[in-house]
Amino acid sequence: MVPPGHDPSPMLIDSHCHLDYFTPTELPAVLDRAAAAGVGEMVSIGVTLDQAPTVVGIAAAHPNVWATVGVHPHHAAEQEIPQPEALAALTAHPRVIGIGESGLDYFYDRAPREVQREGFRAHLRAARLAGVPLVIHARDADDDIVDILQNEWNNGGKFAFLLHCFSSSRRLAEAAVALGGYVSFSGILTFPKSSEIRAIARDVPADRLLVETDSPYLAPVPLRGKRCEPAYVAHTAAVLAAERGLTPAALAALTTGNFRRLFTKARPEAPASCV
């Protein structure tokens, strides 16, 4: 019998997925396949405030699922930018461990850029207020992401954050690390043309690495083109381990430890002391 609180083997955590994109009838099998692949936990990410109750409900119903709440930059103009205090209040639920995803996306430009920037700042301030990490979406907006992170850090104080699904420049990765941020790699890492991303992944400090799927998107090689799901994070982790000269077990232990350090609400409860 495994003692309470003891993990007999390193497990992976999918730090970013969208479980509400799977139907309620599909989800149990998705979670079973994740467990079979060694993925012990996952974080289902919020993209709109209307969707938040669904995401939180999934996390509340499954002990190995966590949630975040926030507004994706694609949806930043669909309603009034939420106040930081209102966003922070949504993290009171015990299964909500972060704010986001928020950030900037100048590739699709589905919301005016100034609105995206205002929303990003609101989410960042909410994360600081709540004492939880901000999950950041960054696409073709590296300079503005760096400027906002640095400005908010200098003028408002420190905050925890994660660059998710990293596919940006070395400058952004280095700036994030300098501010205490973490960097998560998705199936993009495994793509043949992602040599620059793999080079950055080799150089990110070991204590700042996470892995994810961003499912149902971006299935890794050799499953590219299929609908992605949390079990597939094992393929990304294997590539990251090889790039860093680690065994898969060592990479799993490393990234899971990093996840716990960043997402403090997801840490196992300390055992009760003897009286």
Q: What is the pLDDT of residue 9?
A: 61
What residues of the chain score a pLDDT lower than 50? 1-8, 270-275
Domains of the chain from N-terminus onward: 19-265 (3.20.20.140)
Tell me the C-alpha distance between 13 and 186, whole Å: 12
* 3-class SS of residue 151: helix
Question: How far is CA 210 from each of CA 29, 111, 250, 257, rounded to the nearest angstrom?
Answer: 24, 28, 13, 9
Q: What is the pLDDT of residue 158?
A: 94
Q: What is the pLDDT of residue 273?
A: 33
Q: What is the pLDDT of residue 2?
A: 30
Q: What is the pTM of this model?
A: 0.93
The torsion defined by the Cα of 173, 176, 182 and 185, in degrees rounded to 10, comes to -20
Q: What is the pLDDT of residue 268?
A: 85
Q: What is the pLDDT of residue 10?
A: 76
* 3-class SS of residue 97: strand
Q: What is the pLDDT of residue 241?
A: 98
Q: To 10 degrees, what angle do helices 195-203 and 233-244 make?
A: 70
How far, in whole angstroms, is CA 267 from its chain's centroid? 16
Residue 183 DSSP one-character state: E
